[in-house]
Amino acid sequence: MKENQNQTPYLMFDSTILLGDEAEQIARSAPNALLTIKYLHEAGAKVILVSDWSLKNKSFTSESVADFLSSALNNEVVPVGCISLEKLLKTECFEKANIFLLDSLSEFKEEVANCLEFSEALSFGVDIFVNDTFSQSHKILASTVGVTRFCYACLAGFHFEEILNQLRNLKEAEREPYVAIIGGGNLLDKAAALHFLACRCKGLVFVGMMAFQIMHALGLSVPSNLVERGALKQALDIVQFAQSRNVNLIYPQDFWCKNDRFSSQFEIFPSHGIMDGWEPVDIGPVSLDEIKSLLTKCKINVRSTEVVLLLLYYRNLFAAFVLSIHLMKIYKSSCTSGESKLAQILNQLSQSDCDVTVVGNMACEALINESSSFSVSNMVYNASVVWEFLKGRKLSGVIALDRVCLIFMSAYPFDIDWNAVYVDPSKPLLVDIGSGNGLFLLGMARRRKDLNYLGLEMNKKLVRHCLDSIPRLGIQNVYFIATNATSAFRSIVSSYPGKLTLASIQCPNPDFNNPEYRWRMLQRSLVEAIVELLTPNGKDFSSVHCSLYKSLQVFLQSDVEAVSLRMKEEFLKYGKGKLIVDEESNAVNSQGWLKENLFGVRSDWEQHVLDRGAPMYRLMLSKSTSTWCQFSKEASK
């Protein structure tokens, strides 16, 4: 990792590592939460840590958190006492120490507002942003989204990636059936997530206020004050959908209830017989026994054909995924103990072969109180982010990252059999980034057989369409890969046996709905990878009868002038002085843009723009002073 030495990563760490009283215990229970910090430090980087620890039930200061982290990491963590690093970078302290802690973000309203100036101050002097707190990834914050505008590489830490992969496995992988234990209320807002869980689970166990909405939809008697207004239709849809898929809906048979007039008075009522003046605050003993029996008998009766309900659908317990989402709000009392007992059940399951993931502040706290051995890495404190994920919403904190992994130079390693892709993988390579429906590359591949062509496109459907077109057109020198070029370009192209001679970016889509991110379609890491992988001076192609590639090129174009200008600026800024603008007087107009597309092959969007009489803003950047004089002749053949 010598490449990372002297770089300064800004790391948003997960404050759940502050749960334990012993640093050694936390190091064992949440290794990935600390591993990211250790990894960066051992790579020779100066690490800037920031988090929001105001939500924890402890009184923390920057100094106490720094002391805790110092003990856990076995390395000194220096509290900065501010947010901006501008002054710190000039002090002697910055030269002597390697890990620094900023103040808690809870003190700054600019954090929630995603203030541009605040984001810039947070990232001052920082090269790399590492997000290692998945619990905040559904929010648009200065510390998770805003700072990505000012860092050239934006990555996920090991803890972030681990939790995201857990949820992805739940959402995408075809595994054995799951059972979800669901607490909390507000069914109307969470209906989409419940539909998803009904698709993946063979049983939904409701232990919170949503249980009453399910009971109401099933036609059972429910006190009117416990019925969520406007949620009946959604509850009916969920019940009908679950029943159509043979998904078992389990709800509590009894509840501990608190007297509205005498807050210290508790009594157990059946779920369908709660009297007026009593409020349910916890599931009752019968319900707890039913849940415990339901889960534990799965393992005992794994091959029994007489097992009913949920148990009928299990082959073995280790494949079960128990998802406990925000347990019902529990009023602390000596007689109500549902929270503790349910935590005991989940902890016992986690000690066997069952994969248990706990979601929600109260559920996580209950598990921590029940067992110090339960892995913090299997907890997501903020239930809101999980609900949003299960609804299928895009998470801002995930979208803002360039790639979800921390291995900077080897992220997303692609194992490509180039001999199977191309007839002759030693030919020079042209890469089109954002290749769309592939018309440009498919046209080029038919016109110039002495080159190989590669399209990198994020849209998987478009890539499949392009790959299906190749055999139909009878061409063998073009290929397409579904990927994010920002994260994968270096890994893919560096493994190619031949040489990269040209890279093109044509008509990237600006985000006109978000002015702050409108032109953020080109990242520094991608520019650097392109410039470094272009073969210098074209000397490797003297034997190729292609005068075009006597100089190595980057072709940029857009129908939006500001986009082309921004791309030009980014390549010149991060090209390390290796690029110049090719401005042959007979090829450019008075504004410095190329008059024509010198390839002789147009992309579909370029053709659309020209057909409506609008201009294209094109330019060529070169790694040498050679020109394209001979290209139009070659391309027109």
* pLDDT tens for each residue of 2-33: 333 456 776 887 776 665 544 444 444 456 67
Q: Is the pLDDT of residue 251 over 60?
A: yes
Q: Could you tell me which of 508, 490, 505, 497 has the C-alpha nearest to residue 452?
A: 497
Q: How many CB atoms lie within 10 A of CB 274?
A: 21
Give burial (CB, 10 Å; 0-12/13-18/19+) of 425: middle
Where is pLDDT greater, at 271 or 168? Answer: 271
Q: Is the pLDDT of residue 612 over 60?
A: yes
39-74 residue pLDDT tens? 888 878 888 888 887 655 456 788 888 888 888 888
Q: Residue ranges of the alpha helices (H) in 371-417?
A: 383-391, 396-399
Q: What is the mean pLDDT of residues 347-364?
A: 70
CA 124 to chain centre: 24
Provide the β-strand partners of residue 64: none
Identify the weakest region by mean pLDDT among 85-89, 422-426, 578-582. 85-89
CA 636 to chain centre: 45
462-487 residue pLDDT tens? 999 999 999 999 999 999 998 878 77
Give burial (CB, 10 Å; 0-12/13-18/19+) of 224: exposed
Would you state the pLDDT for residue 328?
36
Give burial (CB, 10 Å; 0-12/13-18/19+) of 344: middle
Residue labelled with tokens 């008697």:
221
Q: How far is CA 453 from CA 383, 386, 456, 553, in A?
A: 46, 41, 10, 14
Q: What is the mean pLDDT of residues 189-207?
A: 87
Q: What is the mean pLDDT of residues 513-535?
A: 70
Provide the β-strand partners of residue 619: 556
Confidence of residue 426 (pLDDT cuts 50, 70, 90): very high
- The H or E element containing residue 110 is helix 109-112
* Nearest 10 degrees: Cα torsion 612, 613, 614, 617: 120
pTM for this entry: 0.60
Would you state the pLDDT for residue 84?
74
Percentage above 90 pLDDT, the chain? 20
DSSP string for residues in 198-222: HHHEEEEEE-STHHHHHHHHTT---
One-letter identity of residue 11: L
Q: What is the mean pLDDT of residues 94-101?
A: 82
Q: What is the mean pLDDT of residues 176-202?
A: 84
Residues near 454 by beta carbon (within 8 Å), at least 6 away in sequence = 429, 430, 431, 432, 441, 478, 479, 480, 481, 492, 493, 496
Joined tokens for residue 220: 């059972």
Would you state the pLDDT for residue 351?
67
Q: Is the pLDDT of residue 234 over 60?
A: yes
Q: Are 326 and 363 in contact (CB under 8 A)?
A: yes
